[in-house]
Structure 1
Amino acid sequence: MRRERRHGSKGRAQMNLPALAVALLILTMVTGLSVGIADRALIGADRNPTTRRAAVATSERLVSADSPLTVRSNVVNATTLDGFNASRLTAWFPVVGERDVRIRLGETVVAKRGSPTGGVTIRRIVLVENRSAVTLTPPLSTSDPQFTLPRRTPNATLAVHPPDGTTVSVVRANGRVVLRNASGIDGRFHVPLSRFETTRFSFEADGRLPTGSVNVTYYPAKTRKAVLAVTVDA
């Protein structure tokens, strides 16, 4: 009985040899196919390394803090972007050289030179900033005329028209003198401000400065996310 079991085990082992050989053959074929695909991918990636470097460098400079298109790093100025074109692309970002280039924001092509049909595309998530004018007539206390803007803004336009018998001599923004005239401040004035803090205006006057004596136009920002795609074709 023991001898029969040994013969049975040997027979089964011999029967499994062809199956093992087939499995090894399949594994070898799959491994070879995978290596071949990986090799082709690496060859494709390295085929145009100069083009890829140009695409990466252009995308980085487009969204850098000192780019003509940004208000700060990775925040694109929508107004400046509206005026962007092929000639400015070449002048502002000479790294593209003589290659065909396309700059796309979302689904909109904002600048294009040549006819890029392939090449390398680098995508970056950015914020697009829009600023629109908002005008308000702030309520003023006759004894201590001052008001705070609801939103941050890099500048504002003040329209100061005090009533007869009142002279406004100084206007401050967050304690900093932005307008001064001992003879009287009366008219429209463009005032640069800090975009990093909310602004509080205060007025020095020798009489009443009721509500309606001052109007202000400021430019709050609205931002949205978008994908900026830079395509460079050799």
Structure 2
Amino acid sequence: MLAMDNVRAMFVVLPDAPLPDQADVDAADGLILVHPQDETDYPAATERVAAALQIRPPVYLVIPTLDSGQTRSYLQHSLQPGVYGVAVQTAASVDQLRYLEGVLEELEIRAGIRPGLTAMAVGFHDPRAIDIMSDCLAAMRDSADRMTWIAYDHAEMAESLGVKPDSPTVQQASSQVVMTAAAYNLPVVYGSPPDAEYAASLGFRGCATGELADLEGLRATFARPEPENGEDEEES
């Protein structure tokens, strides 16, 4: 799985955006590939994922929402050897994540992927999701332990609360997400590059962006500290 500090700069590829050239994402720690707008266009999804796998960074697939009825079909066509993980837009319940875990194991076997190898990243963006966050992380840790990072978007949190993004209530929620994730040794990825320095000060370990120009700056903002006692730093 990805080391904790290797989520500093995650590049998001939206459905209507072209895939980047490998040289353009040298500073990215991962590619987050959003599913096609037409979730049932499976040939397009298969082709796009295969092309993304030719680019260096680990590839995460943003899957259709778990209550859409499209998750399994999308993954059946998109989960290929070489895909690093899947990204869940939001967690509604422990049962939903367990369902996804079962789907992944079944499709891994079909695709010739070692069961349990595909990582999971999960978003927690509203108060209800935060309320079940600890239960979700505990359940995933106690089963296949696929979880590698948490996604959090303060703008979505603010909208769900009906307050401004810079509200103290949103800051409190942000801190709660970071602390809960830290209890399970998981990094949290922020969703707004202009606020990256602020996010780093709260304990976030990286940021997601759709702009190539942001990547170098994000790596610098979320740079890991110098190793202590002469220990060699792990390669990123």
- TM-score over 0.5 (shorter chain): no
Question: Structure 2-normalised TM-score?
Answer: 0.21
Question: Structure 1-normalised TM-score?
Answer: 0.21
Q: Which structure has more RCO (C-alpha within 8 Å, separation ≥ 6)? A: 1
Per residue, is there more helix in 1 or in 2?
2
Task: Mark the structure with the bigger radius of gyration.
Answer: 1
